[in-house]
Structure 1
Amino acid sequence: MSTADFFYEAGALKRTTRSGWALARMANRESVADHSFRTALIAMTMAAMAGADPDRAAALALLHDLPEARLGDMHHLTRRYLDEPKPFRQVIEDQTAALPPAARELIRGRAAQWLAQDSVEALIARDADVLESVLHVRESLAERPELQRRWFDYLAASIETEVGRTLLEEIRTTGPDDWWPRAVDRPPG
């Protein structure tokens, strides 16, 4: 394996569909890479709002699903039957083995922080992961309000941070299409 191999492997996440949405018979199934991008952006924003380290929170969120390049996406029902942290650690070690030492240690360290969930940035990144899914539910299940509400409530129950709860309420009261008329109506600058 080489650094280029690592990048190609990470690219597999662009072709790995998130599996949990199949349970909802959701047509708009995003890739793991789609999910990870917005999760990192949410984590960075949340950390800034909470006075935490935005770069660290974004890095944790960006890396949180990297093992899925090898394991595939595992929704919560699948994870119930697996000893998830052990394979996650092993996959990260294997994926980063050929990287230059500084990069290898950075990624392994951030992955360990994600798993430990013992810093404000890790908790924020985890909440960002959930909030990204809440946004996807709001965007994709508008035509099925009862199922949207059930998924929203299920996901919302796992939000742990104050900033996460604040954003959850904002998401609850803001429609997925509300942003663009406001952007168009607002004068530039």
Structure 2
Amino acid sequence: MPEQINTADFLYEVGVLKRTARTGWALARIANRESVADHVFRTAVIAMTLAVTAGADPDRTAALALLHDLPETRLGDMHHRTRRYLDEPKPFRRVIDDQTAGLPAPVRDLIRARAAQWLDQDTEEARLARDADVLDSLLHVRESLADRPELCRRWEDYLAASVTTDAGRSLLAEIRATGPDDWWPRTVSG
């Protein structure tokens, strides 16, 4: 049995995600590699936005998105080709249980409940948070591969196929119709 950690240990461990690079982008030869924490931040904002659009709980949905990659502090970031060789989701549940064992019961129970909800994908909030995860990846592809349109399109099509909610598909269409730099001129006053 692993040694129990306290709350400060847990928070230091969470900080590892700021230094953990996402690995899937190496497959696409994307030089603009982000950390897991970079990805999680925008994913949580997307999740909150999707939840409001869908009439779901935005706070719960954002919390699911914030916690969805927590096991990567111990497992590292694994792209989808790696994950299919694992007995998923059992390793992720075990990591969450180990990570939270020494936390105060209310904190431990909340994190475990949200992690289970994410892994089970049995609520609207979990499905919206999952779509947010995919949509953040799609945004990153569009930002990073604008100069390689054929590769960008292939990645976009691959990721788009994973979006399952109506709110997610609606935002997907808006993202695909909007360029990564279109926001800038709209925000600059004359």
Q: TM-score range by the shorter chain?
A: over 0.9
Match for residue 108 of structure 2 among 101, 104, 125: 104
Counterpart amino acid of 1:70? Answer: R
1:4 aligns with 2:13: no
Determine the C-alpha separation between the residues in 2 that align with 1:55 and 1:130: 19
1:74 aligns with 2:78: yes
1:140 aligns with 2:147: no
1:54 aligns with 2:54: no
* Deviating 4+ runs (over 4 angstroms): none
- 1:171-186 correspondence runs (5 A): 171-185=175-189
Hey, what does 1:149 align to over in structure 2?
153
Match for residue 25 of structure 1 among 29, 33, 47: 29
Identity percentage of aligned residues: 76
Kindly state the Cα deviation for residue 185 of structure 1 after the two structures are TM-superposed.
Answer: 2.8
Match for residue 84 of structure 1 among 82, 88, 101: 88
Match for residue 132 of structure 2 among 128, 131, 145: 128
Superposition TM-score, scaled by structure 1 size: 0.97
Hey, what does 1:161 align to over in structure 2?
165
Kindly state the Cα deviation for residue 125 of structure 1 after the two structures are TM-superposed.
Answer: 0.2
Determine the C-alpha separation between the residues in 2 that align with 1:38 and 1:160: 19
Determine the C-alpha separation between the residues in 1 that align with 2:148 and 2:173: 20
Structure 2 residues without counterparts, runs of 5 or longer? none
Determine the C-alpha separation between the residues in 2 that align with 1:112 and 1:181: 42
| CA deviation map 1:94-126 (0-9, x unaligned) | 000111000000000000000110110000000
Hey, what does 1:114 align to over in structure 2?
118
Counterpart amino acid of 1:58? Answer: A
Counterpart amino acid of 2:84? Answer: R
Give the secondary structure class of the aligned counterpart of 1:174: coil
Determine the C-alpha separation between the residues in 2 that align with 1:180 and 1:49: 24
How many pairs were matched up?
Answer: 186
Kindly state the Cα deviation for residue 84 of structure 1 after the two structures are TM-superposed.
Answer: 1.8
User: CA RMSD for the aligned pairs?
Assistant: 0.7
Counterpart amino acid of 2:150? Answer: E
Structure 1 residues without counterparts, runs of 5 or longer? none
Superposition TM-score, scaled by structure 2 size: 0.97
